[in-house]
Amino acid sequence: MLTYVLRTLLRMAITLFVIVTLVFFATRLSGNPVDFVLGDGITQEDRQLLIAYYGLDSSIGTQYWRYLVSVFSGEFGLSFLERRPVADIVMERAWPSLKLLLSAVSFTLLVSVPLGILAAIYRTSVIGSVVMVIAFLGYAVPAFIIGILLVLIFAYTLNWLPVVGDGSALHFIMPTLAISGTLVAAITRFTRNAMLDVLSQDYMRTARAKGLPEWLVILKHGLRNASITLLSVIGLQIAGLAAAGSVVVESIFAWPGIGDLLVRSAILRDYPVLQFGVLSVAVAVIVINAVIDISYAYADPRIRLAKG
């Protein structure tokens, strides 16, 4: 088990290094930043001076080396616009995003796993069909439509919920629902399918033959096995959400999150912020993946043995 965890962490470190490198070269591809920052009204001499000042006249290898050194010593530079360390700017924004993510994920799991189990048990009756229709609708409607509908109903017409910012618990309700819509639909479907596979397994019959009541058979023997399949799907969905999924919803509700920040700094060409923002999101995704990998091995002893 320990070897497995260590190997997962090592893989995570390698991925991280590759991403750091990719981010460096991808940002260099978009041209000389001096041109964007200072515009046209600058003399040739001043331009050369600035290029030398930013270290852009040294070879790409040297630049890359300096970049690596600063990344690993935690120096990510200053924002072009705000003249503050980018790390501060991004970290201010990361926490609201993380809160929203956690709230959406917990809501999703609380709703979709029980729904999926119900849909699997009552697959032939009305309950199962109703759940699946709702799940399908949720899957078909994009998050921004749900978001706008929610704003129309609960803020504009009924005036029950606040729309802008993350000031109170009430502020969380609509963004959470908007993000969870698709997620609930997807995970309900996956839970149902995973449970259906498990329900027909021989060991479920064994559990019943032991005299366990049905709810215990489903929750103890069924869900634990279904969770192996579920974990990988949930991990992928959460990672996807962390990467880009909440950008649109954050814009709708003016959520002071990282998605909103990334969009703004891309439009305004604030490269240091963009660069660091992309890196932070990548780190988040990698960490989520590693956590899922490790919990996967925890859920399935066969993986532990094979990989440990």
Partner 1 sequence: MTEPVLDVRGLRICFGSHEAVKGLSFAIHARETLALVGESGSGKSATALSILRLIEREGGAITAGEMLFGGDGTVRDLRNLGDGELTKLRGCDISMVFQEPMTSLNPVMKIGDQVAEVFIRHQKLDRAAALKAAGGMLEQVRIPDPLRRLGQYPHELSGGLRQRVMIAMALACRPKLLICDEPTTALDVTTQAEILTLIKGLQAEIGMGVLFITHDMGVVAEIADRVVVLKDGEKVEEASADDLFRRPQAPYTRQLMAAAPRLGSGSETRAPGSGTVLEVDRLSTRFGARSGLFKRKREGVLAVKGVSLTVAQGETLGLVGESGCGKSTLARSILRLVEPESGSIRLNGKALTQTSRPALRESRREAQMVFQDPYASLNPRLPVHELITEPARIHGLVSRRDQKDLAAQLVEKVGLERDSIFRFPHQFSGGQRQRLCIARALSAGPKLIIADEAVSALDVSIARQVTDLMLELQRTDGLSFLFISHDIAVVERVSHRIAVMYNGEIVETGPTSQVLNHPVHAYTRQLLSAVPSLRH
Interacting residues with partner 1 (CB under 8 A): 3, 7, 10, 201-203, 205-214, 221, 224-225, 228, 299-302, 305
When the beta carbons of 45 and 202 are compared against partner 1, the nearer one is 202
Q: Tell me the C-alpha distance between 64 and 183, whole Å.
A: 39
Long-range contacts formed by 249-253: CB under 8 A, 24+ apart: 249/143, 249/144, 249/147, 249/175, 249/178, 249/179, 250/97, 250/100, 250/175, 252/144, 252/147, 252/148, 252/151, 252/175, 252/178, 253/147, 253/151, 253/163, 253/164, 253/165, 253/171, 253/174, 253/175, 253/178
* Nearer to partner 1 among residue 155 and residue 212 (C-beta): 212
Q: How far is the CB of 17 from partner 1 (least distance, A)?
A: 15
Of the pair 163, 212, the CB lying nearest partner 1 is at: 212
| Nearer to partner 1 among residue 149 and residue 228 (C-beta) | 228
Least distance from C-beta 99 to partner 1, angstroms?
33
Q: Among residues 154 and 298, whose Cβ is nearest to partner 1?
A: 298
Phi then psi for residue 78, to 5 deg, are: -110, 150
Cβ within 8 Å of residue 97, ≥6 positions away = 246, 250, 255, 257, 258, 259
Q: How far is the CB of 225 from partner 1 (least distance, A)?
A: 6
Nearer to partner 1, 28 or 208 (CB): 208
Min dist CB 19 to partner 1, Å, is 20
CB of 135 to partner 1, least distance (A): 25
Nearest-approach distance from CB 223 to partner 1, in angstroms? 10
CA torsion sign, 181 to 187 to 190 to 194?
negative
